[in-house]
Structure 1
């Protein structure tokens, strides 16, 4: 151990004790008893249980919520007076995201944790700046833009890059990491539609991309700050510029330089145009009067995070579930063939069963498995949980997708039909389904209320186009032993641990 790391360890022990002894005590965040919550000890709270389950944190918290009568648990962390409230109760979710939206925001602690990575981007800001970014961004998600996105950006990336790579792999019986392929695909797409820039990340030789590793490092380290059993440690490491915090500083600098290069090229492009006949998201911000480089840089990084990691995570788990559920795959193939003569946009827009199967996949494996807000003022949640000012309240889509009270005793089953109603004759003989969505507070995969995901429709169109494009040509076969279960891991977004190695087999029909 180096001298700096030793000093950091000593500081880790002394500083929290100082803060604990000098801070005035506060009342606990809840007066309700949570019999299934892990035991909380003086000073260290539930840190022993948190540390013991750090390798399966999402699954552990999900188990706690599933076993709680109110679907809510309260954890007390190391040397912290405020509590960590975790809920899967839809009434609580609606209360946070809609009814009392004004009282639940990112919070200063959350903003500090993510600031080095996301700065003042839309996912790490409140108030007027958030409203402005959302208003400008919303112009990019109208029907005209969505059609253009599917018919030009996604379709070109699919036909010119993705399908040829998969065809070569099928011909050579080669193994590819589908998670990596989908991330490359999504990265090219978000850069094209949002910034008018093609990074050409998905090429036949699958080039090493330093940017991808750097981006992943920034995501992972930022997430570790949230999940740290010892919440002061990252601040000490940052102050000393050592370990993961040194790497985050380097990664953030590299990402910002990448974003600034895109912005520089876009500014040059705009200066040579007499009018904005083809407007992407970045052009809208640069033409809005808010052209401060740091501000726009934060926006670029935020949209890369949203566009690259969420849809690729959703599709990775979707193809895994299809490989394990042949009847569902047959029904998806039937719909793809039925719609194959339709124009591209109408094809994906009208794929009802495929849409339902994607919803069902994200119920079990949400791209963002947990999200948090901080209370500005004291409050009481609908289930009776008392929330003190400054407490973090997290809603947990991963756990909610596993609650029997919400999804029935067969919640473990991958069952798209739970999202559908059959034809009037009840037999569904002609494959006529109608989609029946769940309210966004029971299924908050895309958030809900004023912060509901702007890119929801775009994400579904992209995913359905990819599903149709791949399954029409190939069968996706995981390279895994029978009985193998991939591991769900979660940073700011979810991933499949170790990637998703597969082979592609050309369909004879």
Structure 2
């Protein structure tokens, strides 16, 4: 065991000795303008450059893909391994649809996320994934679930979020809008998934053990992907130290709490002659899928999907709105014209708002990158050779910034790129194919919760903007930073003040 451990430590530490040698050598050379493309060295490949961009990897790889003629770049890793990044829509369609079976989550991603997500739908392939997808797809397509989601969102909006904004206008309080929206989304998704209300958005913003543990588990799990070698976190996990000890503690709290809810729900259903609850967990258990580990895994996965994605999109939406007052005016006109409609009709007819949300997620996708692993050798449509076992990452963040896709004005926040006017001057929405706009994935794994996400986001936009103007509480010239874990966030939060809106004109 000692010899094996020493060998593992050597493998982990060896690249850093190489780093010292290369750094010392480079200092003796005449300095030259840096290239955006990383240098590759024998044995260690581009690992040094990758490590140096650990914190801004999304932006760095975006610049590389923007500079690549094909929108694809292959990174050399340790010991001859390779990692392909692409922002080429033809390659994305090849991965996510045409050759779907050849690009799977794979054993690496499975091992990284297993402690947290177990065998949930977002961490498995093959028959296990197909089975969970079929079950989830059936439940998401029921009218009763859609109605339940609408009720949950409206209750959270009217009973908690709107009153919190009113209190902030009276007290002149600065709110961290990102945190508020995360709490809002967490309450919603827990009620939809479990039928459980964590009340994170209660007036005093209480700490919630389940929510805090979920946040820790998400962030630490995502950091595993950034390690130069998986051996580094596996060794820490073996000795139960550092971040891996914190992850184990967080995961234990999440899974123990979730399992407790599963058992309580099973008992509740056993005591009833018919199903009264309409949350996802009740539906899964009532349909015969009573294995407690299965139920826990799949519901945790749905919480992950619904918790940070909508809150991240809305955080950036309100920031972009504050920088584009003419866009806010158009949204206010739309809200004013829909105020007397039933909720579902109002949401359906919010075409301009829908375009604004799509444009927000083009620039700031909630899931900025997504990786697969090649089962067999392959060749992409752009000619890139894919070796068996190679990780392949498609890059929604970069794809939203490609001039070849969006034109020379790609950097502008321009909702009109999603719209066209009819003869009467009325807006209609013009979508992009999912292999160009990959925010909700595409192909067989396309997001089941897309409709639910837009419902929630539009209800928040209409509910908040109808009553308040959201003003950033930041210094002039402030530019927020985009950071990514398993999902994206605004670094440091988003401080805002709420002002009561006198009218919608």
TM-score (normalised: structure 2): 0.92
Say if 1:8 and 1:237, in contact at 8 Å, map to a contact too. no
Structure 1 partner of 2:10: 13
Q: Structure 2 CA distance, aligned partners of 1:306 and 1:80?
A: 35
Q: Structure 2 CA distance, aligned partners of 1:327 and 1:255?
A: 44
State whether structure 2 residue 261 is matched by structure 1 residue 262.
Answer: yes
Q: Structure 1 CA distance, aligned partners of 2:145 and 2:400?
A: 28
5+ residue gaps, structure 1, are: 19-34
What does the per-residue CA deviation read over 1:118-155, in whole Å, with 9 as the maximum and x for residues that have no partner? 11000001111111111111123226246414541111
Say if 1:114 and 1:124, in contact at 8 Å, map to a contact too. yes
Q: Structure 1 CA distance, aligned partners of 2:266 and 2:79?
A: 46
Q: Look up the SS of the partner of 1:40 in the other structure.
A: coil
State whether structure 2 residue 60 is matched by structure 1 residue 63.
Answer: no
What does the per-residue CA deviation read over 1:294-332, in whole Å, with 9 as the maximum and x for residues that have no partner? 221111211110111111111111111001110001101
Q: Look up the SS of the partner of 1:174 in the other structure.
A: coil
Q: What does residue range 300-311 of structure 1 map to in structure 2 within 5 Å? A: 300-311=299-310
Structure 1 partner of 2:111: 112
Count of aligned positions: 482
State whether structure 2 residue 40 is matched by structure 1 residue 40.
Answer: yes
Structure 1 partner of 2:87: 88
5+ residue gaps, structure 2, are: 16-34
What does the per-residue CA deviation read over 1:421-444, in whole Å, with 9 as the maximum and x for residues that have no partner? 01226xx3xxx1010000000001
Structure 2 partner of 1:203: 202
Q: Structure 1 CA distance, aligned partners of 2:36 and 2:482?
A: 23
Say if 2:144 and 2:278, in contact at 8 Å, map to a contact too. no
Structure 2 partner of 1:246: 245
Q: Structure 1 CA distance, aligned partners of 2:6 and 2:176?
A: 39
Please state how far the C-alpha of 1:11 moved relative to its aligned partner.
4.1
Q: Structure 2 CA distance, aligned partners of 1:9 and 1:493?
A: 35
Structure 1 partner of 2:499: 505
State whether structure 2 residue 467 is matched by structure 1 residue 473.
Answer: yes
Say if 2:334 and 2:352, in contact at 8 Å, map to a contact too. yes
Please state how far the C-alpha of 1:405 moved relative to its aligned partner.
0.5
What does the per-residue CA deviation read over 1:236-274, in whole Å, with 9 as the maximum and x for residues that have no partner? 111121111111111111110111121122112201211
Q: What does residue range 123-138 of structure 1 map to in structure 2 within 5 Å? A: 123-138=122-137
Q: Structure 1 CA distance, aligned partners of 2:5 and 2:211?
A: 30
Structure 2 partner of 1:420: 419
Q: Structure 2 CA distance, aligned partners of 1:448 and 1:388?
A: 23
Q: Which moved more, 1:384-393 or 1:258-267?
A: 258-267
What does the per-residue CA deviation read over 1:92-119, in whole Å, with 9 as the maximum and x for residues that have no partner? 0000000000111100111001101111
The Cα RMSD (Å) is 1.9
Structure 2 partner of 1:374: 373
Q: Look up the SS of the partner of 1:393 in the other structure.
A: strand
Q: Structure 2 CA distance, aligned partners of 1:495 and 1:210?
A: 21
Which residue, out of 476, 484, 496, partners 2:490?
496
State whether structure 2 residue 441 is matched by structure 1 residue 447.
Answer: yes
Q: Structure 2 CA distance, aligned partners of 1:16 and 1:169?
A: 52
Q: Structure 2 CA distance, aligned partners of 1:350 and 1:8?
A: 62
Structure 1 partner of 2:75: 75
Say if 1:150 and 1:345, in contact at 8 Å, map to a contact too. no
Please state how far the C-alpha of 1:230 moved relative to its aligned partner.
3.6
Structure 1 partner of 2:180: 181
Please state how far the C-alpha of 1:232 moved relative to its aligned partner.
2.1
Q: Which moved more, 1:374-383 or 1:79-88?
A: 79-88
What does the per-residue CA deviation read over 1:159-200, in whole Å, with 9 as the maximum and x for residues that have no partner? 111100110011111011111111111111111122222111
Q: What does residue range 329-344 of structure 1 map to in structure 2 within 5 Å? A: 329-344=328-343
Rate the CA distance shift 1:10–1:316 in 2: closer, same or farther, 3 A: farther
Say if 1:369 and 1:396, in contact at 8 Å, map to a contact too. yes
Structure 1 partner of 2:24: none
Say if 2:140 and 2:146, in contact at 8 Å, map to a contact too. no
Q: Structure 1 CA distance, aligned partners of 2:468 and 2:396?
A: 31
Q: Structure 2 CA distance, aligned partners of 1:491 and 1:299?
A: 20
Q: Which moved more, 1:269-278 or 1:163-172?
A: 269-278
Q: Which moved more, 1:438-447 or 1:129-138?
A: 129-138
Which residue, out of 481, 484, 496, partners 2:478?
484
Q: Structure 1 CA distance, aligned partners of 2:336 and 2:5?
A: 61
Q: Structure 1 CA distance, aligned partners of 2:179 and 2:93?
A: 35
Q: Look up the SS of the partner of 2:393 in the other structure.
A: strand
What does the per-residue CA deviation read over 1:14-49, in whole Å, with 9 as the maximum and x for residues that have no partner? 46879xxxxxxxxxxxxxxxx963111112111111
Q: Look up the SS of the partner of 2:470 in the other structure.
A: strand
Rate the CA distance shift 1:80–1:300 in 2: closer, same or farther, 3 A: farther
Structure 1 partner of 2:25: none
Q: Structure 2 CA distance, aligned partners of 1:502 and 1:80?
A: 48
Q: Which moved more, 1:114-123 or 1:221-230?
A: 221-230
Q: Structure 2 CA distance, aligned partners of 1:15 and 1:233?
A: 6
